[in-house]
Amino acid sequence: MFSITPLINSLLLFTNALLVRGLDASLTLADVRQAFYEANIPQDANLTFNPSVFLEVIFPQESSSLSIVLYTPGTNLSVAAVALEPVFALVGPALSKDFVVIMVDLDVPSPSDPYLGPYRHFLGGDYVPLDFTPLGAFLLGNLTKPVSSWVSPAPDSVAPHRYVLLVYEQPTDFSGQTLITTNTSRYNWDMSAFVRAIGMGDPIGGTYMLVGA
């Protein structure tokens, strides 16, 4: 049985993040979509991106009770800032579904020669909106093991990598999927083929960060 403690910690991180998110109140979903296409993410990841919600990624910090919030797509962050596994929140209309969260690095080993990408940093399902909704934000809670556990960004190149985070509505058959196991390589992951095979549709939200060595 999983402990409820991670959810409590997530709520604390989320509370600390609300003020930071308020600084980006002018960001629109059209801005998010444009940022993705200007960074060639839909083209390189072979996906269609028309977000209907904002995805907020909240990174705890080892040396501070405050957290770092990835909200605006294309934010530059240091390796140290994103070392710990984050929690996720959605900003948008009332939500009642289960969700899948994915993170990939499109630029392995380097943006100039990404022959090993996409690299699957995280794949987790069974995320549900918790009953905690200040400022229209829904913290996502999860008590099941991820399909692919979190691997912190550690790029080899000084040139920043595009770390892309996406959220999908979870299809009924996701929990029983067998396409990815603990033995499946994370490199050269055909994310779009996986999404099609599971019937996940297009992502409903996403963001991305730039992290270099």
- Residue 2 has a pLDDT of 43
How many CB atoms within 10 Å of residue 4? Answer: 10
pTM beyond 0.75: the answer is: yes
* Torsional class of 52: left (φ above 0), alpha (ψ -120 to 50), beta (otherwise): alpha
Query: Pick the residue with more confidence: 156 or 15?
Result: 156
Torsion of CA 136, 203, 171, 13, to 10 degrees: -40
Tokens of 205: 């939200």
- Taking 50 as the threshold, does the pLDDT of residue 96 lie above it? yes
Contact 112, 39 (CB under 8 A): no
Per-residue pLDDT of 140-175, as tens digits, reads 999 899 999 999 999 998 899 999 999 999 999 898
Distance CA 146, CA 125 (A): 6
> Residue ranges of the domains in the chain?
5-211
Beta strand spans in 71-144 (E): 75-76, 87-91, 99-105, 119-129, 137-141
Q: Show the tokens assigned to 116.
A: 């090993």
Q: Please check whether the domain covering 5-211 is classified as CATH 3.90.280.10.
A: yes
pLDDT(4) > 60:
no
Give every CB contact of residue 121 below 8 A, 6+ residues apart in sequence: 103, 104, 105, 148, 150, 151, 152, 153, 163, 186
What confidence tier does 7 reach under pLDDT thresholds 50, 70, 90? very low
Q: Any long-range contacts for 64-70 (C-beta under 8 Å, 24+ apart)?
A: 65/16, 66/16, 67/13, 67/16, 67/17, 67/20, 69/17, 69/20, 69/21, 70/165, 70/207, 70/209
Q: What is the DSSP letter of 96?
A: -
